Amino acid sequence: MTAMPQQTGELRAGIALALLLPFQSSPVRAQISVDVNLIVLHVTVHDSRGHDVLNLGQEDFRLYEDGVAQSIKWFRREDTPVMVGLIVDHSGSMRPKLNDVTAAAERFTDNPTALELAISGVPAIGQTILYDAIAAGLEELEQGSDNANTLAGITRMAEQSSAPIYTIGMLSEDDPDASPGVLKHLAEATGGEAFLPRGFSEVAGIRAHIAADIRSQYMIGYVPANVNEDGAHHTIRLVTEAPGQGKLRVRTRTGYIAEGASK
């Protein structure tokens, strides 16, 4: 999918490739949606050298919500199919880079012809409507919400989903409206990663990194000890201590919105 251009917008980010929103395929989603209060985490673990750690068990993780220890109810570590939404900046600022943007975006699909036709079929005009584009992407992944036209609103919407967001920003140094902090914030809040490559030649490596990251994740599910569907934000902290593994770094989403559904 592409971000539709608009004559006016909330943000000019100057991004070439915006977001990848992986979400588990429907068989997995059906399996984990038995308990509507189940919170699902996509978890990446790295050692001190940045290498993936793939041999951990459920007993190696400690999970806290709002500082209170939680019991892990569901644990999985295997290569499973995922559904991915790709959002591409197609605004006026991308016009000089459109060929490179298209070539870079094609690295994320097995149907480059369809993607090229989708991009070339719409004029590159207007400003980057980043929040609306993210909202559209999440809605395509069946995680729709309202009031997502601000950073706070789109963060809330993302936190209602379990989809990690990976951002790739091709930012111009002379663009006063470039907002790398927004891309980093969205990635960190959802357990994804933010990338700010210096050129399109780096995109292939980023694509490979993201693909490996998605396929190296643990999936952890828990039911909050204090179930309160109050629409409030609840913080999540996940740590791991495995004998002989040294210091490990865990990456997952930092919280969720309690809305009374599998998240």
- Per-domain residue ranges for the chain? 17-24+81-214, 35-79+218-257
- Give the model's pLDDT for residue 26: 41
- Give the model's pLDDT for residue 119: 79
- Give the model's pLDDT for residue 138: 76
- Give the model's pLDDT for residue 6: 36
| pLDDT, mean over the chain | 77
Nearest to 137 by CA among 108, 95, 107: 108
**CA–CA dist 12, 17 (Å, integer):** 13
- Give the model's pLDDT for residue 170: 75
DSSP 5: P
**CA–CA dist 147, 226 (Å, integer):** 27
Please report the sign of the dihedral spanned by the C-alpha atoms of residue 143, residue 255, residue 35, residue 63: positive
- Give the model's pLDDT for residue 28: 45
- Give the model's pLDDT for residue 66: 95
Q: How far from each other are the two terminal CA atoms of the chain, in whole angstroms?
A: 23
User: Does 1.20.1180 match the CATH number of domain 17-24+81-214?
Assistant: no
Q: CB-based contacts of 50: which residues, under 8 Å, 6+ apart?
A: none
The ranges of the chain with pLDDT < 50 are 1-16, 18, 25-34, 143-146, 261-262
